[in-house]
Chain A
Amino acid sequence: METKNTGNVCEEQVFDTIFKANSKTVFNYIYYKFGNEEKAHDAVQEAFVKLWENCAKVSPPKAKSYVYTVANNLYLNVIKAEKVRLKYADKTLKVTHESPDFIMEEEEFKQKLNRALDSLPENQRTTFLLNRIDGKKYAEIAEMEEVSVKAIEKRMHLALKSLREKIEGI
């Protein structure tokens, strides 16, 4: 996933490459935090327009963390988190060897997981989902969140722990 850009961000091609590599993650990142798709779209817009405006000052290797910072700062303390609603990929649903009971129980479990995710602290949820959905490594998330890798590990550990507790009603 590393962007190997040479040259200037002001060059259309370099900019487009950076955008294609990072825009989806910026979008997801803001969505995981606030559960608002519109705000997530706006954040992508804002972050990359800012990047373009400052393309002369931001070197390509710095561009990635630059857009995360802009997106993050945009809603800093401004909006209240809404419900984070995530869908499940329907790939497993096609294969229905399982009994209806099992499927129903599985559905129930997914709903529980969704609710549990929604009730997680914002930073734990964001870390967990970036890792599970976007396949971001702890180091990458640490860079985005501007914290240490160890802090991300802690968040991940706590996220998983409280998910289980919430789902099992402990």
Chain B
Amino acid sequence: MQENHLAKWLNNNLTEAELAEFKKSDEYASYERIIAASDQLKAPDFNADEALTAIKNQRTLQDTKVVQLHPFKKFIRIAAAAAVIIFGSYFYLNNLDENIVTEYAESKEVILPDNSKVRLNADSKLSYSERKWSKERNVELKGEAFFKVAKGKRFTVATDAGKVAVLGTQFNVENRKGFFEVTCFEGLVSVTFNGKETKLPAGTSFIVIDGKITEAPAPQTQQPSWLNNESTFKSVPLKYVLAELERQHNITVETQDIDTEQLFTGTFSNTDRDIALKSISAPSQIKFKFEGSKVLFYGDKNP
């Protein structure tokens, strides 16, 4: 009998003699029966049309998927967003100006990157960019400060009222509401106010009160009086004097029946409140009294 004769038998590949011999064997009937039964077997149902439709649907799905989910494009989008955030915060943090602020009855000394010294008076704010400092020495000022500028490139103080530019000198800048004063103690200071530049030699002041440029009286000191804890005024309307008093002593001042436009010349202490109040009231012939945390200045005629 041939090798694999059962397979040959099913395939009708047996010789006649072999087939005859196989039919005579005991197993033949069994094999016949197995084949007869197995030829009735069925595989599970399979719907080719449905399967084809499913494949075509998946195909279109995949085609669109390719368009929708471009992984590289998505990556680029995320990368771009991340880059924007990173660079944005880098520049933001880098350009963040240094800010120095003083409250009422407070003063601070600031050393700038070039060792220039700034003394910041009460209720003032100084800001500058440390990053740009090597390119241009620029500070912004609100309030009052005394500058001792180290020699070097042009040093600029920008205020709401005007610009002050120097090379290396000592000067004071005060910029309060309606009041702008620059006093030069050493060297030469250039003040630009309303687009007009004024050269300020040592020992002179540039004062603007309510938009009006006032004749500059020469200070008799080497530095502003407030550095010695005194506030000095020469022909300054009383309202600015009282405003300075509020700042220096952290009090609220109210007035009654007095002309706050009258000019005041004099000095008050920045440390002793009672002396300061007397220093203002006595020469102006006005009276004052405390009302809680407030101070009321009132005219002589009314109690």
A associates with B: yes
- A residues contacting B by CB (< 8 A) are 16, 19-20, 23-24, 27-28, 31-32, 37, 40-41, 44-45, 48-49, 52, 86-89, 91-92, 106, 109-110, 113, 117, 128-129, 131-134, 138, 150, 152-154, 156-157, 160-161, 163-164, 167-168
A19, A106, A138: the one contacting B55 at CB < 8 Å is: A19
What chain A residues lie within 8 Å of B55 (beta carbons)? 19, 44-45, 48-49, 52
- B41 CB contact (under 8 Å) in A49, A109, A133, A167: A133
Given the known inter-chain contacts A91-B40, A131-B10, A153-B4, please indicate yes or no for A19 contacting B48, CB distance below 8 A: yes
Q: Are A164 and B41 in contact (CB-based, < 8 A)? A: no
A49 to B59, Cβ gap below 8 A?
yes
Check if B38 sits within 8 Å of A113, measured CB to CB. yes
List the A side residues contacting B33 at CB < 8 Å: 109
A86 touching B30, Cβ below 8 Å: no
Is B86 located at the chain interface by the 8 A CB criterion?
no
CA distance A27 to B46 in the complex (A): 7
Chain B residues with Cβ under 8 A from A164's Cβ?
27, 30-31, 34
B7 contacts which of A28, A49, A109, A160 (Cβ < 8 Å)? A160
For the complex, give the distance between the alpha carbons of A168 and B266 in Å.
131
Q: B42 contacts A87, CB within 8 Å? A: yes
Our pick among B3, B10, B40, B62 for the contact of A160 (Cβ within 8 Å) is B10
Of B27, B31, B42, B52, the residue contacting A88 (CB under 8 A) is B42
Does B43 belong to the interface (CB within 8 Å)?
A: yes
Indicate whether A156 sits within 8 Å of B6 (C-beta atoms), given known contacts A28-B46, A37-B44, A164-B27. yes
B52→A167 contact, CB < 8 A: no
| Residue ID in chain B nearest A85 by CB atoms | B44
A-binding residues in B (CB < 8 A): 3-8, 10-11, 27, 30-31, 33-35, 37-44, 46, 48, 51-52, 54-55, 58-59, 62
| Pairs of residues from A and B, 6 with the lowest C-beta to C-beta distance, nearest first | A156-B7, A157-B4, A153-B7, A153-B4, A28-B43, A160-B6
Contacts of B58 in A (CB 8 A): 45, 49
A137: nearest chain-B partner, CB-CB: B11
Please give me the residue from chain A that is nearest to B34 by CB atom: A163
Residues of chain B within 8 A of A138, CB atoms compared: 7, 11
Q: Are B35 and A49 in contact (CB under 8 A)?
A: no
With A23-B46, A44-B55, A86-B41 already in contact, 11 other A-B pairs whose C-beta atoms are closer than 8 Å? A24-B48, A28-B43, A41-B51, A45-B54, A48-B55, A52-B59, A132-B35, A132-B38, A153-B8, A154-B4, A157-B7
Let me know if A89 and B4 touch, CB within 8 A. no
Complex contacts, A154 vs chain B, CB 8 Å: 4, 7
A88 touches B40 (CB 8 A): yes
Give the docked Cα–Cα distance between A75 and B69 (Å). Answer: 28
Closest Cβ of chain B to A146, distance in Å, is: 18
Which of A20, A133, A163 is B43 in contact with, Cβ under 8 Å? A133
Contact of A92 with B51 in the complex, beta carbons under 8 Å: no
Residues of A within 8 A of B38 (CB): 113, 117, 128-129, 132-133, 163
B46-A161 in contact (CB<8A):
no
Nearest-neighbour CB distance to chain B for A53, whole angstroms, equals: 8
Query: With A52-B59, A138-B11 given, is the CB distance from A157 to B52 under 8 Å?
Result: no
- Chain B residues within 8 Å of A92, by CB: 40
A31 and B59 form a contact (CB under 8 A): no
In the bound complex, how far is the Cα of B107 from the Cα of A23, in angstroms? 90
Given A16-B52, A24-B48, A49-B59, also A156-B40 (CB < 8 A): no
Using A23-B52, A164-B30 as known contacts, say yes or no to A132 and B4 having CB atoms under 8 A apart.
no
Q: Chain A residues with Cβ under 8 A from B46's Cβ? A: 23-24, 27-28, 40-41, 44
- For the complex, give the distance between the alpha carbons of A131 and B5 in Å: 16
Is A129 within 8 A of B40, CB to CB? no
From A16, A31, A131, A168, give the contact of B44 (CB < 8 A).
A31
Q: Which residues of B contact A110 (CB under 8 A)?
A: 37, 40
CA distance A152 to B10 in the complex (A): 13
Q: Can you list 19 contacts pairing A with B, beta carbon distance less than 8 Å? A: A19-B48, A19-B51, A19-B55, A31-B44, A49-B55, A86-B41, A89-B42, A109-B33, A110-B37, A110-B40, A128-B38, A131-B10, A132-B39, A138-B11, A153-B3, A154-B4, A160-B31, A163-B34, A164-B34
Chain B nearest CB, measured from A165 CB (Å): 9
